[in-house]
Amino acid sequence: MTPAIWRELARAVHAEIKAGSSGVIVTHGTDTMAYSAAALSFMIDTPVPIVFVGSQRSADRPSSDNAMNAVCAAAAAKSDLGEVAVVMHATTNDDLCAIHRGTRVRKMHTSRRDAFRSIGIESIGTVEYPSRTVTLEDSAVRRGNDKLALHDKLEEHCGLLQFYPGMSPDLLNAYQGYKGLVLAGTGLGHVSTTLIPRLRTLIETGTMIVMTSQCMHGRVCDRVYDTGRDLISAGVIEGSDTLPETAFVKLMWVLANERDPKKARAMMQTDLKGECTTRSAHGL
């Protein structure tokens, strides 16, 4: 998958909805499905369900999940849902699929049928099998809530980099000239102090840098320790509890659709498509 394919996909989905489709199912490989679901979440304002679905195990295996996932996706696409979602097995049994928000979902296992999980929030709904009964949570966006609109611009000169102990500041040279960079820092959103001068230089020369966390739960808070406060002073933007990969896609979208740096910074800290929350739920 590439940003160019995301644009092509968004345009195709938009055209189907404009032509009268009451829901759209997107079949997709599981490895990068969360990226694509996040991309379409930002690129399309949709009044109907846009449901991504895949299979962890191929059709020639007795334990294949493809048929059940497809049936549950079809049920979700006919439901009162009104946002981009991922529908996959919720358990290892053939009894329930979960409906995950497109900006809060992650593949958490290489091969389990229930590999996909909503991160930081509960799933926004379920589909029972074989009854195809759909239950939507109050948090799910409902059908007809948004008017159809396509915003398919993406700034491709963005990167996603995970910090690790001993990382050389020289690695940041590869992002010189990039429009945006998402860092997956440790804990509350930290990197080594040796990286801060190079990060400051990147920001001063026009690269927007957003800090996220490698932790799956919780939020970035760079005001607690000196290192975090130094990052903020250098111009790094706190990414709240946005997942690193979602923040990466969002940054590409924001930078392509908002040319004012101050407004773009504010958008990166604003919940646009359910990608970040104002507070973390207990136990999530």
pLDDT tens digits, the chain, 284 residues: what are they?
A: 999 999 999 999 999 999 999 999 999 999 999 999 999 999 999 999 999 999 999 888 889 999 999 999 999 999 999 999 999 999 999 999 999 999 999 999 999 999 999 999 999 999 999 999 999 999 999 999 999 999 999 999 999 999 999 999 999 999 999 999 999 999 999 999 999 999 999 999 999 999 999 998 999 987 888 999 999 999 999 999 999 999 999 999 999 999 999 999 999 999 999 999 877 665 55
Query: Residues with Cβ < 8 Å from 167, sequence gap 6 or more?
Result: 191, 192, 195
**In terms of Cα–Cα distance, which of 160, 174, 161 is closest to 248?**
160
Same domain, residue pair 166 and 142: no
Flag whether 218 is in a domain. Answer: yes
Same domain, residue pair 165 and 188: yes
pLDDT confidence of residue 62? 84
Flag whether 282 is in a domain. Answer: no
Q: For position 184, which CATH number holds? A: 3.40.50.40
Same domain, residue pair 144 and 181: no
pLDDT confidence of residue 31? 97
Instruction: Please check whether residue 274 is in contact with residue 83, taking contact to mean a CB–CB distance below 8 angstroms.
Output: yes
Same domain, residue pair 10 and 114: yes
Same domain, residue pair 117 and 41: yes
Flag whether 109 is in a domain. Answer: yes
Flag whether 276 is in a domain. Answer: no
Distance CA 137, CA 117 (A): 16
Same domain, residue pair 143 and 165: no
pLDDT confidence of residue 280? 62
pLDDT confidence of residue 225? 87
Flag whether 277 is in a domain. Answer: no
Same domain, residue pair 141 and 68: yes
Flag whether 280 is in a domain. Answer: no
CB atoms within 10 A of CB 224: 12
Task: Give the 3-state secondary structure of the chain.
Answer: CCHHHHHHHHHHHHHHHHCCCCCEEEECCCCCHHHHHHHHHHHEECCCCEEEECCCCCCCCCCCCHHHHHHHHHHHHCCCECCEEEEEECCCCCCEEEEEECCCEEECCCCCCCCEEECCCCCCEEEECCCCCEEECCCCCECCCCCCEECCCCCCCEEEEECCCCCCHHHHHHHCCCCEEEEEEECCCECCHHHHHHHHHHHHCCCEEEEEECCCCCCCCCCCCHHHHHHHHHCCEECCCCCHHHHHHHHHHHHHHCCCHHHHHHHHCCCCCCCCCCCCCCCC
pLDDT confidence of residue 281? 60
Same domain, residue pair 53 and 25: yes
Same domain, residue pair 138 and 183: no
Instruction: Please check whether residue 205 is in contact with residue 281, taking contact to mean a CB–CB distance below 8 angstroms.
Output: no
Same domain, residue pair 103 and 223: no
Which of 129, 150, 171 marks a domain boundary? 150
Which of 150, 175, 191 marks a domain boundary? 150
Q: Considering its fold, how many domains does the chain have in total?
A: 2
Same domain, residue pair 31 and 115: yes
Flag whether 41 is in a domain. Answer: yes
Flag whether 164 is in a domain. Answer: yes
Structural domain range at position 142: 3-150
pLDDT confidence of residue 284? 57
Same domain, residue pair 136 and 254: no
Which of 95, 124, 150 marks a domain boundary? 150
Query: Residues with Cβ < 8 Å from 2, sequence gap 6 or more?
Result: none
Q: For position 16, which CATH number holds? A: 3.40.50.1170
- Sheet-wide strand order for 84-89: 24-27, 50-53, 84-89, 96-101, 125-128, 134-136
CB atoms within 10 A of CB 187: 15
Instruction: Please check whether residue 127 is in contact with residue 94, taking contact to mean a CB–CB distance below 8 angstroms.
Output: no
pLDDT confidence of residue 141? 98
